[in-house]
Structure 1
Amino acid sequence: MQFMVSLDLSVVNVGLPRIAAGLGFGAAGLTWVIHAYALTFGGLLLLGGKAADRFGRARVLLLGLGLFGLASLLGGFAQSPGQLVAARAAQGVGAAALAPAALALLTSTFPKGRARVKAFGVWSAMNAAGGALGVLLGGVLTEYASWRWVMFVSVPMVAVALVMARRGVTADPPAGPAGRPDVLGAVLATAGMTLLVFGVVRTDAHGWGSPVTLTTLAAALALLAAFLHVERTTTREPLVRLGLFGNRWVAGANAFNLLVGAAMTSSLYFMSLYLQRVLGDGPALTGVEFLPFALGVVVGSVLAVKLGHRFAPRTLLVTGALLTAAGFAWFGLISPDGSYVVDVLGPSIVAAVGFGLCLGPVVATATTGVAPGEAGTASGLLNSSRQLGATLGLAVLGTAAARRTGTATTAEALNDGYALGLTLGAALLASAAVVALTALPRRAPRR
């Protein structure tokens, strides 16, 4: 299932230019093909994790799979930008149900020791493998079939995953208390984040100091403040028990994940556009050119398994974040008359290995010391921080890049914007390394 979710993200990124041309998206509107998925996914992950704890992880997992497959099918038949964005939002709802349920099952099945390190290493390797196949399939399908197949490709995978899940995942009793999930909190969180990102994205038309932007951002902050108030005072089972952040492993891992998600999503977005719009490579070739990055993540994930028995998770997270930051800083040196071998291949390998070192350890870290009844919530929280980071990162860095580019459409102007976005992504990753070094304890707590 993680393979499928990862593939769906990367397969859409490569097809973005053809999607824009096929349905008539504008430059700012195109980012909502990503935002719609990330916002519903990130905003509802806490509810999905709580529902998995409350109603049973196997049941919620199957429900999320079914919705994900239906939304993928409808997205492939979209006839307007609004229809595709709505389908992507529905995909995010399905993913918000299945992702924390699957990760909670993994956490409870492998609670500690070498088996846990290996299990999360396999999970992160499958995450990277999905990205590797996604960029390749996305490029080939977009160029030789149609961009619609970047949506259709998930449908048969969902069918296979449903069969495997029904046969291999046994029904489980609810792990958490029998309270009702906090739906109001989920609505407030999603609405607040949607307004926040919308306000940032629209700064291309309305400046940061304009009444429209200030009003939008103020409303977003008010909704998020209301979400925190509801979590403290609700008589239902809170979406996330705020005391969970007293666990330094949970708080530190989610802060790290937020920054890494912001940097990775925006940087890969810029690289896809650089290869196609500046270097002039087609979608299929772009997919092939992304393979070294995705395969490098697999290598980094394997290294994390090998080194996980010798080094503390904090060490791997700091090392991985710094390596990835170095790779994207190297990416920031791109030039309009550059080439794939000189400007892309080297930094791809450095950044990919570093990112792979982070994937397994951050998941294991975010569920360290968490009670079994909150495993789904902790898993949902981790996925939520990554997706919300991805959404905000793409909004802020995309806006910065667009401002640097201005209204020009020359290769030089586009290159300047993409280079700025990649450099800012490197700065976010360096900040993530600082967070891991200062916020995470040296050793895991005894069980």
Structure 2
Amino acid sequence: MRKPPPGAVLAVLAAGQFTVMLATSIVNVALPQIRDGVGLSDAATTWVVNAYGLAFGALLPAGGRAADLLGRRRVLLVGLGAFGAASATAALAASPGVLIAARAAQGVGAAAIAPAALALAMDLHPPGPGRTRALAVWGAVSGAGGAAGVVLGGVLTRAWGWPWIFHAVTIGTFAVLVATLTFVPSTPPADRAGFDLAGTAASAMSVTALVWGLTTARRDGWTDIRVLAAFGAATALALVFLRIERRAAAPLVPPRLFAGGRVAAGNLLMGLFGSTWIALFYFLPLYQQQVLGEDPLTTGLGQLPLAGANMAGAALAPALARRVGTRAALVGALLAEAAGMLWLSRISADGGFPTDVLGPSLLVGVGLSIAFVQLTALSVEGVTGADAGLAGGLVNTTRQVGGAVGLAVLATVAGTVTAHAGGHRPDPEALTSGYRSAFAASAAVLAATALLAARLTRRTPTGPTDFTDPTDAPNPAARPTVHGPH
């Protein structure tokens, strides 16, 4: 049988990542229609989003480790099957419990798809220009998937009703599954060590408690007894996890993963970066609908410039890194995104999309995609083939958890400012004040992340940057030895 071209394999794997990101945001603009159609309470409506995010974020390391132990293609296929079946169930759901359970099952499938697909893409492209281009594709589809979800959600909800957002995801998922069977070659397990079930359980429960506490804090306040109990449980379970990992013969997160410092730095920076990513796609549609008065379709179409800028930035990322170096590209991209967020902090209650949203969306989109490409590369650099799936799951987890923490904090900031400005019945001016404060805080976080990135990736007197790419070296003899997944 003829071996499929690497470009076709990468396209299939990227389509899997696109589907995962699409499902994250496609429900956002349809939540009012979903609430009325299924009979959800206001509190339960938030769990249409949270159930997916909780299962996805909590199980990503386990999904990555399973891919390393059982074979990445096999785990990818199982994840796609589970994801597609859960999407079909959500489309047919007639009760709140079934819908929320289906969304959680979607998250479980996504936790297998994302790390397995990324590890397969890294297997396909060893360190060098090819991998940089592959990560650029990854950055483009990740950002475009989030933006496309808002667009497609608005279009489908208006045309045929909310169930079609899940029907569309179902059709797309099974198309990717068929393409995976056709184009992606089978892979043997990269590691035959045992599975750390106790560590996986402790890790998943700790992340679940943390995200649940943050989500509840947005609604009930940070001093609510349930919120405090959730944070306490998350801390206790994290300590249990660390104790298990020290004693486990085959730990879920082996210490060797952080031996070079690159993975630790990449995940720390990705967590800070992710804290503003999810918030952007939360506050921007709210401003467009609640202040500018746009309908879901118009709001969705308003995400197209952001998606286009995101794809353009991802396409430029490899050439930019070669020209100025990966360190400068990362720091510059974070500062550009911070500038875009600062620009958004000047939105007005009587503004419009062309004057208040379009320009900063383009700047944010370019900076976001370039930074994502560089941070993903940093988070998997130097990782051996046996740990590639785990590294992919870990960086996705830090972005998801960072996003949950960031959204909870920024929503609290925005809500406090809005309440102070408008009381119990906030007007558009009060809402705008809250959104401005959220964007200004996001700009500050991104600027601080850029400074930290400059420090963590600085050159030392005895060697190259912590964050190196073979394309950065001035000649072949100067290229660092980097062991990537094979």
User: The TM-score by the shorter chain falls in which range?
Assistant: over 0.9
Give the corresponding residue for 1:437: 454
> Do structure 1's residue 411 and structure 2's residue 446 form an aligned pair?
no
- Aligned partner (choices 211, 226, 229) of residue 243 of structure 2: 229
Q: Matched residue pairs, number?
A: 445
Query: Cα gap change, 1:341/1:26 in structure 2, threshold over 3 Å: closer, same or farther?
Result: farther
Q: Tell me by how many angstroms 1:27 deviates.
A: 5.4
Give the corresponding residue for 2:384: 371
Pairwise mapping of residues 160-199 of structure 1 onto structure 2 (< 5 A)? 160-176=175-191, 178-199=192-213
Amino acid in structure 1 at the alignment position of 2:108: V
- Aligned partner (choices 410, 413, 426) of residue 443 of structure 2: 426
Question: Quick one: distance in 2 between partners of 1:31 and 1:395?
Answer: 13
Task: Structure 1: give runs of 5+ residues left out of the alignment.
Answer: none
Give the corresponding residue for 1:62: 77
Give the corresponding residue for 1:328: 341
Query: Cα gap change, 1:16/1:432 in structure 2, threshold over 3 Å: closer, same or farther?
Result: farther
1:276/1:282 contact within 8 Å kept: yes
Greater Cα shift, 209-218 or 342-351: 209-218
- Aligned partner (choices 306, 312, 315) of residue 299 of structure 1: 312
Query: Cα gap change, 1:400/1:184 in structure 2, threshold over 3 Å: closer, same or farther?
Result: farther
Amino acid in structure 2 at the alignment position of 1:358: A
1:201/1:396 contact within 8 Å kept: no
Q: Tell me by how many angstroms 1:244 deviates.
A: 1.9
Question: Quick one: distance in 2 between partners of 1:75 and 1:53?
Answer: 30
Task: Structure 2: give runs of 5+ residues left out of the alignment.
Answer: 1-15, 459-464, 469-479
> Do structure 1's residue 85 and structure 2's residue 100 form an aligned pair?
yes
Taking structure 1 as the reference length, the TM-score comes to 0.94
- Local SS of the residue matching 1:153: helix
Taking structure 2 as the reference length, the TM-score comes to 0.87
Query: Cα gap change, 1:358/1:263 in structure 2, threshold over 3 Å: closer, same or farther?
Result: same
Amino acid in structure 1 at the alignment position of 2:369: G
Query: Cα gap change, 1:242/1:79 in structure 2, threshold over 3 Å: closer, same or farther?
Result: farther
Question: Quick one: distance in 1 between partners of 2:275 and 2:218?
Answer: 19
- Local SS of the residue matching 1:319: helix
Amino acid in structure 2 at the alignment position of 1:426: A
- Aligned partner (choices 380, 383, 389) of residue 396 of structure 2: 383
> Do structure 1's residue 52 and structure 2's residue 87 form an aligned pair?
no
Pairwise mapping of residues 201-280 of structure 1 onto structure 2 (< 5 A)? 201-203=215-217, 206-235=220-249, 237-280=250-293
Which protein shows a greater Rg?
2
- Aligned partner (choices 7, 21, 25) of residue 10 of structure 1: 25
2:217/2:408 contact within 8 Å kept: no
Deviation per residue, 1:206-244 (Å, 9 max, x gap)? 543454433332122111211122122123x21111342
Question: Quick one: distance in 2 between partners of 1:152 and 1:326?
Answer: 38
Question: Quick one: distance in 2 between partners of 1:60 and 1:210?
Answer: 40
Question: Quick one: distance in 1 between partners of 2:65 and 2:150?
Answer: 32
Q: Tell me by how many angstroms 1:409 deviates.
A: 4.2
Q: Tell me by how many angstroms 1:166 deviates.
A: 0.5
Greater Cα shift, 89-98 or 329-338: 329-338
How much is the aligned-residue C-alpha RMSD, in angstroms? 2.0
> Do structure 1's residue 126 and structure 2's residue 141 form an aligned pair?
yes
Q: Tell me by how many angstroms 1:30 deviates.
A: 3.9
Question: Quick one: distance in 1 between partners of 2:280 and 2:43?
Answer: 17
Q: Tell me by how many angstroms 1:246 deviates.
A: 3.1
Query: Cα gap change, 1:153/1:331 in structure 2, threshold over 3 Å: closer, same or farther?
Result: same
2:245/2:254 contact within 8 Å kept: yes
> Do structure 1's residue 111 and structure 2's residue 111 form an aligned pair?
no
Query: Cα gap change, 1:20/1:428 in structure 2, threshold over 3 Å: closer, same or farther?
Result: farther
Question: Quick one: distance in 1 between partners of 2:267 and 2:121?
Answer: 18
Amino acid in structure 1 at the alignment position of 2:432: N
Q: Tell me by how many angstroms 1:108 deviates.
A: 1.5
Query: Cα gap change, 1:403/1:198 in structure 2, threshold over 3 Å: closer, same or farther?
Result: farther
Q: Tell me by how many angstroms 1:26 deviates.
A: 5.4
Question: Quick one: distance in 1 between partners of 2:171 and 2:414?
Answer: 37
Give the corresponding residue for 2:361: 348
Give the corresponding residue for 2:481: 446
Question: Quick one: distance in 2 between partners of 1:121 and 1:203?
Answer: 36
- Local SS of the residue matching 1:382: helix
Give the corresponding residue for 1:399: 412
User: Identity of aligned pairs, percent?
Assistant: 43
- Local SS of the residue matching 2:322: coil
Amino acid in structure 2 at the alignment position of 1:429: L
Give the corresponding residue for 2:4: none
Question: Quick one: distance in 2 between partners of 1:295 and 1:360?
Answer: 16
1:132/1:295 contact within 8 Å kept: no
> Do structure 1's residue 41 and structure 2's residue 51 form an aligned pair?
no
Greater Cα shift, 401-410 or 40-49: 401-410
Q: Tell me by how many angstroms 1:19 deviates.
A: 2.9
Give the corresponding residue for 2:174: 159
Deviation per residue, 1:235-279 (Å, 9 max, x gap)? 3x2111134223221111111111111101012101111111111
1:278/1:415 contact within 8 Å kept: yes
Give the corresponding residue for 2:462: none
Give the corresponding residue for 2:373: 360
Q: Tell me by how many angstroms 1:71 deviates.
A: 1.0
- Local SS of the residue matching 1:310: helix
Query: Cα gap change, 1:19/1:434 in structure 2, threshold over 3 Å: closer, same or farther?
Result: farther
Query: Cα gap change, 1:79/1:418 in structure 2, threshold over 3 Å: closer, same or farther?
Result: farther
